[in-house]
């Protein structure tokens, strides 16, 4: 699903085109939409970027600040964090 939208070609998840994300949301089933509304995330696809050892699950998440975003489980607790929020916090620390 994500490769057909050109999402696999971006260098960073914070660079994903919002129109592509809206297309992903429009393609969700009713069950996926409910899961997104209730839990704040839904599994979209499994992908492997160049240099990665194995495929990772990619989730569509709803960020309070940035709307719909793509994320994958990060860190020891496998948290789903908005990539644009991470980028903003990084830029604040510079």
Q: How far is CA 87 from the centre of its chain?
A: 14
pLDDT the model gives residue 1: 56
pLDDT the model gives residue 11: 55
Q: Report pLDDT digits (tens) over 16-43.
A: 778 888 888 999 999 999 999 999 999 9
pLDDT the model gives residue 23: 87
Residue 58 β-bridge partners: 45
Listed as ranges, residues in the chain with pLDDT below 50 are: 9
Degrees to nearest 5, angle at CA 54 with 52 and 60: 90
Altogether, the residues listed in the chain come to a count of: 94
pLDDT the model gives residue 5: 54
Query: Please, what is the end-to-end C-alpha distance for the chain in angstroms?
Result: 35
- Tell the residue number behind the tokens 């696809």, with chain if given: 45
């Amino acid at each position: 699903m994500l490769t057909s939208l050109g999402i696999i070609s971006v260098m960073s998840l914070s660079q994903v085109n919002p129109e592509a994300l809206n297309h992903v949301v429009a393609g969700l089933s009713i069950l996926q939409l409910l899961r997104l509304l209730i839990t704040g995330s839904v599994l979209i696809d499994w992908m492997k970027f160049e240099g990665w050892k194995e495929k990772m699950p990619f989730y569509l998440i709803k960020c309070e600040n940035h709307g719909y975003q793509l994320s994958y489980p990060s860190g020891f607790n496998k948290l789903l964090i908005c990539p644009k929020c991470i980028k903003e916090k990084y830029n604040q620390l510079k």
